Copies of this chain bind each other. A is one copy, B any other.
């Protein structure tokens, strides 16, 4: 018996990735598609501007889109819901669902709340431990679990073994982010052809605060931020999918570069150990070729869930440089939420 899952924001680009991630999922069954009132009542194929190359899965095309509303959870007897709704609506809507069921949200609204896990299963699976307190605090029978911003998601995976082995003092990161991160209509071709844009609203702020929560510890139901500083410069470039990030990491302890490579190559997280259905293995694909990773070639590794890391160099004592790449709408959005749900399910947080 599979769990019944809904998607809020099902017509957008992340919503489409949710559909692909849940199609033929061994544990979850896609029972309900929700979107704004514009789309409600229409068949999915008529409501969505489908942008993926693979066609809309059979069985999804003709599903009628529901308007986002907590009553839908009852109507479809949902066990969980995935959320990719705009942050301005998320606070009330996600809470209303969390009163009764588990919400796995890609939206930024709750990410930094004191009792909400900002979860990356390879990095901080123990943060799910807050859920019980969260339910108590808020009087919910369900809960909310968030995943990080797309640019944070790719970075924290390689930071995890680096922090565990050498400690991190600070991180400077410059991103080159794909156009799909802004949504289908987000970046006009007039804006980006023969060009790049050194600004993405709110992005640097997220990258400078989320990693410390994710890489921090949960102690007595309190999140202790990791102590490093993060500084970001975020840019949009003309790439369809895949965020590339150049990171300079100042470590606490010195390191041998071959040792770092080994630590990254051998890294295994809970999802790999538990063999979660969408967990990539290895989670980090270490590349030694001078000119990799590259988005067009490497973004789909591990089904879009792997993080590719290359150009690893020791720049001086305690200064490590690398370039990492991850698929922004899979590892950085829908896939991240689904992996979170898989972990929560395996940890028996969903009944």
A contacts, CB < 8 Å to B: 13, 51, 53, 172, 174, 176, 179-180, 184-199, 201, 229, 231, 233, 235, 237-240, 244, 246, 248, 290-297, 300, 310-311, 315-316, 319, 321, 323
Contacts and interface: CB of A to CB of B under 8 A. Distances in A.
A323 B290 CA distance: 25
Q: Is the interface of A mostly helix, strand, loop or mixed?
A: mixed
A51 B189 CA distance: 12
With a 10 A CB-CB cut-off, give which of A13, A190, A300 has the most chain B CB atoms: A190
A48 to B, nearest CB: 13
A184 B187 CA distance: 10
29 contacts: A53-B297, A176-B237, A179-B189, A179-B190, A179-B193, A180-B190, A184-B188, A185-B185, A185-B188, A187-B188, A189-B189, A189-B238, A193-B194, A194-B238, A194-B295, A194-B296, A196-B295, A197-B294, A198-B244, A198-B310, A199-B290, A199-B291, A229-B316, A231-B248, A231-B315, A231-B319, A231-B321, A233-B248, A233-B323
Contacts of A184: 188, 190-191
Contacts of A189: 179, 187-189, 191-193, 238
A176 B196 contact: yes
Contacts of A53: 296-297, 300
A225 B246 CA distance: 27
A311 B231 CA distance: 13
Given A172-B248, A235-B176, A240 B198 contact: no
A186 B185 CA distance: 9
A291 to B, nearest CB: 4
Contacts of A290: 199, 201
A248 B170 CA distance: 12
| Top 5 A-B pairs, shortest CB-CB distance | A174-B174, A233-B246, A195-B296, A199-B291, A174-B246
Given A174-B174, A176-B196, A248-B172, A190 B295 contact: no
A296 B188 CA distance: 14
Given A186-B190, A233-B321, 11 more contacts: A13-B190, A53-B297, A172-B172, A172-B248, A174-B233, A185-B185, A198-B310, A199-B311, A231-B319, A233-B246, A235-B246
